[in-house]
A and B are shown apart, each in its own frame.
Chain A
Amino acid sequence: MWMRKAYVEVLVRYTREGQKIPILIIWEDGRKFSVDRVLDIRRAASLKAGGQGIRYRCRICSKETFLWFEEGKWFVEAL
């Protein structure tokens, strides 16, 4: 099953070491979701939506979801 690649606006905190930590995701319709915690950061491909970049495993509203940073843009896998 493939999914839609939904580009989203993201508010990002830069750490002193230059690492990017997403703190807020703004969905296409304007709804905002804050990222409770980033659980894992690694390079990975999105086979469902079609993409490749740095994948952030995030906990948002007590659910785990993936957020990708690919060539300067952020996206999520959406239905």
Chain B
Amino acid sequence: MGRVILHSDLNSFYASVECLYRPELKKKPVVVCGKQSTRHGIILAKNEIAKRFGVRTGEAIWEAQSKCPNLVLLPPNYSRYLRFSELAMSVYRNYTDKIESFGIDECWMDITESTRLFGNGESLAHKIKEKIKNELGITVSVGVSYNKIFAKLGSDLKKPDEVTVINRDNFKDTVWPLPVNELLYVGPATKRKLNRIGIFTIGDLANTHMAFLVKLLGKWGETIWAFANGYDATPVNKTDHDGIIKSIGNSLTAPRDLTCDEDVKMLIYVLSESVGKRLRKHNLKGKTVQISIKANDLSLIERQAGFDDYTYTSSLIAEKAFKIFTRNWDWSKNIRLLGVRAANLVTANEYVQLSLFSDGRKAKRELLDRSIDSIRSRFGHYSVQRALLLRKKRENGLNINPVEDHVIHPISFFKGHI
């Protein structure tokens, strides 16, 4: 018997949650977007009505408004979205423990073994869809198939609030006529290459000789050819635990371009505090600090350096990051985005070789950071701050809290496999 895989996609997730809390907006075109004043002014999500006006995720607010003048703009509320995402997960967990989330609003479930208990894939998909609608007040579309790729395609095919079944008998009729870029990992560049040689649909791709695709696209050729034919066998990874963390990092597009060392120092401290806090939360220490710098012409560089000893102390991370920065930046361009990352991690309570030459302040600093964490958890992030961050506080808006105002990054389909 083949596998039974579901892919569940919370429809227009951010916008749906916002509309749930503002029932008076349900009949209006609504988008969730970042703040224009801090240069995060793009559309993050739109509801069905805004979609009908042609509003697209990722475009600038003014573009969306030109298509739809009565657009209602709402700021994002990440902690609420995380709560709803976790609630959805708890619904899925009623039926299987093999759940792999793909971003905040999508996930795969392997329910092969649960079908004996709860009925076949399609009926279980309907059950999940109804349960989410009743308990969370938002809708999902679910794809049911025998591999992850077709399950994901299925959930995109009919939405919102629908179930689509793609099995071995009907995939040639349902999947193959779709444009080739509907397939996961066929982006604009690959699409262009494929179109140039006359491959327009997923069916075209499936019926092309694999060796030819490998010649054209390299090893990806083989991968997407297998995807198109339904040969994908990647398992659904359990992600109920965080998985193995390889590095912890934060990056931020600054509200305005950074123009001097002082600006950079400030943002590096903000980011390092967040990185340090997350390291401590997961009980990890890092030995390597990496920084990434995106200039205002969008060119990106990444540089790294190591510590002598493992650490989770925010100020040490910040000092090192700033040192790397001054060594690598000549200010020929201004800076748009900065990132700080700690890598080469070990569990914090592992025994480590003590250094003969350390000055004994290390343990003190670690205790200090732990105390600051506990003060902040009780009285809020801004209750204790570095004096450095209080300078020019009002005018530059660089002092932000990236842990809570956090951004969700896309993750790879292949994580854990390659």
Contact = CB atoms under 8 A, between A and B. Distances in A.
Given A52-B84, A52-B87, A45 B23 contact: no
A49 interface: yes
A3 B24 CA distance: 9
Contacts, number: 35
Nearest to B83: A71
Interface residues of A, number: 14
B135 A47 contact: no
Interface residues of B, number: 14
Nearest to B24: A2
B156 to A, nearest CB: 24
Interface in B128-142: 134-138
B22 A50 contact: yes
B23 A47 contact: yes
A48 B134 contact: no
Contacts of B136: 45, 52
Contacts of A47: 20, 23, 137
A42 B134 CA distance: 10
B379 interface: no
B351 interface: no
Nearest to A2: B23
Contacts of B26: 2
A39 B260 CA distance: 64
A6 B354 CA distance: 59
Interface of B: 20-24, 26, 83-84, 87, 134-138
27 contacts: A2-B24, A2-B26, A3-B23, A43-B87, A43-B135, A44-B134, A44-B137, A45-B134, A45-B135, A45-B136, A45-B137, A46-B137, A47-B20, A47-B137, A48-B23, A49-B23, A50-B20, A50-B21, A50-B22, A51-B20, A51-B21, A52-B20, A52-B84, A52-B87, A52-B135, A52-B136, A52-B137
* The 10 A-B residue pairs with the shortest CB-CB distance in the complex, in nearest-first order: A45-B137, A2-B23, A43-B135, A50-B21, A50-B23, A52-B137, A2-B24, A47-B137, A45-B136, A44-B135
